[in-house]
A and B are shown apart, each in its own frame.
Chain A
């Protein structure tokens, strides 16, 4: 009997001590610095700029250095990339790209298309915010006008392709789509 009572109260003591043990860990977090990032409106720096360089964000194509080899189109397992080429009507020896569409709404950001590109024309940026009102608007047309096609780039031996800095072209594209209003549920943007 006495043993039973001792076990009973011993158990209660165990519960209380281990409970306080756990609670002391929780309470110690009152004194530590929080690591929460208040995305999206209370960050010191744009989140896209804080990501590691290998981050696989929205794809960007610098058509000026695209050789039109279509390796990226063939590498994509789900057919996100659509490239059409044609002969240049003015110069039959020169081939041109008339269409280079990437359906970002369908893309799974796997990076398989970036690997075979000989010039680095197609690359992942660190951008990930491209909200649109309709999913069709997520098709990025890197040759905007089929009437103004882009000639194939011819790689020069022993020389790197003059690729524009990754992310610049895409940022310009995203900024041009100025009709993306700031959602009403976000608080006013704070002036620095």
Chain B
């Protein structure tokens, strides 16, 4: 026993004083990695020399599956690409195949898509900001965030019958019209949300300890963000106003007026972790604005365009780009004229965020790496597909 203690003390002294490097596998089963990802981290004491993400633990071959099932049959699989915000994964795929077929969803369906998508964005951002607070060490906000997310899930469940894997979109429209009385429920929730965000800010956003922990940490400059191809809130957190909903508008979005929040460096530098965090909080309010406008203007009419049960698009290729909760989501579909895709490719926001981690991790503290990973809002299945 005594000898053990002696050796232990020796080891402790060595790691304290020498600059010997230790390689730590941070992950793949670690609660702070937001899924099954491994960060191979070279450390000297508390300082990280370099951290390289090792992805692929959740690879399920979803792109290959796209070549093996029919076009409509692939829709439930897109849910599994990003299960925290499945609406956008649905929508991107539906858009790509619709372009391939040369059809367009009827206006009512496009509005319903926008409403469902923005509800989904709210629920996804609550997970993002809640888990971020948990990773920093504040346990309460996640439970609050999850409670709000459950209310959104209740609404979506009423609309399409599922809480997580929605499978709501169809090629050429959506599967269900809004049930009777649903829009009132949504409006009631939005009223609650608008006031709740203020409570959320009091609870955590402006908490001085939280701010100190995030401000000036993991700063991504404007140039870096563009060079590394970041998308979505991670890009906007660095002050770049780029949003597919406005700049490459699709569906019903040209009809809505909404702001695009960007990072301002309120407590530190533009592009730090707090900026990325607060962009998400503000985006929830913008989503609420969009849903209100969409519900007010919701046109009557069909919710499905005329599509064959097993459509066979002409040979060609098409791209569907949507602004998902984690940034741009791009589907690239190649058809060879049969009822299955010849090639299907998905480009997702979380995967693009992995590239910058090695750059950001040089010379930071171990605890800051967790803040950076959380602030990039990584969802492991979306990285690996």
Binding site for B on A (CB under 8 A): 11, 14-15, 17-19, 21-22, 24-26, 35, 51-52, 54-56, 75-78, 108-112, 115-116, 124
Contacts and interface: CB of A to CB of B under 8 A. Distances in A.
A77 B74 contact: yes
Contacts of A54: 157-161, 176, 179
Interface stretch (B109-117, B203-211, B223-231, B274-282): B203-211
Contact of B167 (A14, A17, A19, A110): A110
B206 A18 contact: yes
Given A54-B159, A77-B74, A110-B167, 10 more contacts: A18-B206, A18-B209, A22-B140, A22-B202, A24-B202, A52-B158, A56-B161, A109-B162, A111-B161, A124-B161
Nearest to B158: A52
Given A26-B140, A52-B161, A54-B176, A110 B203 contact: no
A18 B267 CA distance: 15
Given A21-B207, A22-B202, A110-B76, A77 B69 contact: yes
Contacts of A19: 207-209
Given A19-B208, A116-B309, A77 B73 contact: yes
Given A21-B202, A54-B160, A77-B69, A110 B75 contact: yes
A51 B157 contact: yes
A138 B299 CA distance: 43
Contacts of A116: 309
A110 B165 contact: yes
30 contacts: A14-B208, A15-B209, A18-B206, A22-B202, A22-B204, A24-B202, A25-B199, A25-B202, A25-B203, A52-B161, A54-B157, A54-B159, A54-B161, A54-B179, A56-B161, A77-B69, A77-B73, A77-B76, A77-B77, A108-B165, A109-B162, A109-B165, A110-B167, A111-B161, A112-B72, A112-B73, A112-B167, A115-B175, A116-B309, A124-B161
B221 interface: no
Interface in B59-73: 69-70, 72-73
Interface of B: 69-70, 72-77, 140, 147, 157-162, 165, 167, 175-176, 179, 199, 202-204, 206-209, 309
Contacts, number: 75
Contacts of A35: 147
A11 B70 contact: no
A110 B86 CA distance: 13
A22 B176 CA distance: 41
B355 to A, nearest CB: 32
B208 A11 contact: yes
A111 B167 contact: yes
Contacts of A22: 140, 202-204, 207
Contacts of A110: 75-76, 165, 167
Nearest to A76: B73
Contacts of A14: 208
A24 B204 CA distance: 11
A115 B176 CA distance: 11
A189 B337 CA distance: 59
A52 B158 CA distance: 5
A29 B72 CA distance: 46
A106 B197 CA distance: 40
Nearest to A109: B162
A13 B216 CA distance: 21
Contacts of B204: 22
B202 to A, nearest CB: 5
Nearest to B199: A25
B208 A18 contact: yes
Nearest to A108: B76
B208 to A, nearest CB: 4
B206 A112 contact: no
A25 to B, nearest CB: 5
Nearest to A14: B208
A29 to B, nearest CB: 9
* Max chain A C-beta neighbours (<10 A), residue from B76, B77, B202, B204: B76
* Max chain A C-beta neighbours (<10 A), residue from B160, B161, B202, B309: B161
A55 B161 contact: yes
Contacts of B176: 54
* Max chain B C-beta neighbours (<10 A), residue from A52, A76, A109: A52
A52 B209 CA distance: 42
B165 to A, nearest CB: 7
A60 to B, nearest CB: 14
List the 8 closest A-B pairs by CB distance, nearest first.
Answer: A77-B73, A110-B76, A54-B161, A56-B161, A15-B208, A52-B158, A14-B208, A77-B69
Contacts of A21: 202-203, 206-207
B60 to A, nearest CB: 13
B203 A111 contact: no
Nearest to A124: B161
Contacts of B69: 77-78
A132 to B, nearest CB: 22
A52 B157 contact: yes
